[in-house]
Amino acid sequence: MSQQRLPSDTGPEHAGTLPEYAERVLDVAERIPPGRVMTYGDVAEWLGEAGPRQVGRVMALYGGAVPWWRVVRADGVLLPGHELRALDHYRAEGTPLKEAGPAAEGHLPRLEMKRARWDGGGPADGGGPAGGHIGRRPPSDVPSYDL
**What pLDDT sits at residue 145?**
39
Q: 85-89, 114-118, 133-137: which range is least confident on average?
A: 133-137
Q: What is the pLDDT of residue 104?
A: 61
Q: Which residue has the higher pLDDT, 9 or 73?
A: 73
pLDDT above 80 (res 123): no
At 106 the pLDDT is 66
The pLDDT assigned to 122 comes to: 60
Under 8 Å between Cβ of 108 and 87 = yes
Residue pLDDT, tens place only, 76-106: 999 999 999 999 999 999 999 998 776 666 6
pLDDT at 4 over 70: no
Furthest C-alpha separation in the chain? 53
DSSP H stretches of helix in the chain: 20-31, 40-47, 52-62, 83-93, 113-116
- pLDDT tens sequence across 8-64: 444 444 446 789 999 999 999 999 999 999 999 999 999 999 999 999 999 999 999
- Higher confidence at residue 137 or residue 27? 27
Q: Please tell me the distance from the alpha carbon of residue 27 to that of residue 108, in angstroms, as a whole number.
A: 29
